[in-house]
Amino acid sequence: MSSQQIKMDSSTLFSTPLFFSFLTFLLAPMAVSGANSNHFAEYIGAQFRGVKFSDVPINSSVNFHYICSFTIDYSVATTPPTPTNGEFGVFWDTENLSPDAVSAIKQNYSNVKVAVSLGGATVNDYTVYFNATSVDSWVSNAVSSLTSIIQEYNLDGIDIDYESFSDANDTNTFTECIGQLITTLKNNGVISFASIAPYADPTVQSMYEALWAKYSSVIDYVNFQFYGYGADTTVDQYVQYYDEQVSNYPGGNVLASFTTGNTTESGVISADTGLSACKELKSENKLYGIFIWSADDSLSQGFTYEIQSQALLAS
């Protein structure tokens, strides 16, 4: 980058947009990527196993986010489901995770917020894609439909978890749709935070890194799916992968993660390895936070890993 010498009188300087942008930069809180924090997030409701918010032990010393999974811009009235260009509908266990349940858990725990995740990998066992007719129409539909859902359920934020794309080369449409959506919902006071949930796949990374390059200022957390690496991943390798993703999302609050699902069957990193890696990251002062996929799987396990993870973050 080359530097330019700019000469102007003080009255001109203090009235320019450049000055106010610089002042905003100086006053804005700086994200400290990788530094220890007490942030914990739990995905919930995607597998319809009857788990309730109140089932999950909540440590009062952590910043706790539930992430309801999912809301989808697909219609399930057809087989296979068909895209609806940003017209989102609820597709999580609303019988147990209802608006009243959201209000109750937030009332009982002042450290709890609740978000909703957009997209997901499949709907009714069919792969679903990010599929926008146009940026303007998708954003308009998404802002309207999501605002209604967020207000009905008293939610605080959104998470972006698209994993497949109708055009794997079109990073611009994804970037503008998601970036403008988050920006508009924040500007309208509908949400207070947003996260993204990429994983180590070239197409997925190209989409989310392009989004990050332009709209990182409105994205609060990177919920990276570290459990997607191979089952033979060691703790040292996990830490190396974590460092790589911190570099891929510079300045981002990158969360470590693991799954409590059947890792033997799916061939991903075990919860024990994931938790051990979190302990190592904590010892190196770079554990920003932890998220777990998911409460549905943990229900039958007594939430052992949730308890241990929160205790680690709170210590």
| 64, 96, 200, 307 from 49: Cα distances, Å | 21, 9, 28, 20
Question: At 159, which helix (H) or strand (E)?
Answer: strand 157-162
Q: For residue 207, what are the CA distances in angstroms to 132, 166, 193, 237?
A: 14, 12, 20, 24
Q: Say how many C-beta atoms besides its own lie within 10 A of residue 15's C-beta.
A: 10
Q: How far is CA 23 from CA 7, 13, 14, 20, in A?
A: 18, 12, 10, 5
> Distance (Å, rounded) from C-alpha 20 to C-alpha 1?
22
Residue 75 token pair = 């219609």
The helix-helix angle for 271-283 and 235-248 (nearest 10°) equals 70
Q: Are 90 and 46 in contact (CB under 8 A)?
A: no
- Provide the 3-class DSSP secondary structure of residue 124: coil
171 contacts: CB under 8 Å, gap ≥ 6: 206, 207, 210, 211
Residue numbers annotated as active site: 163
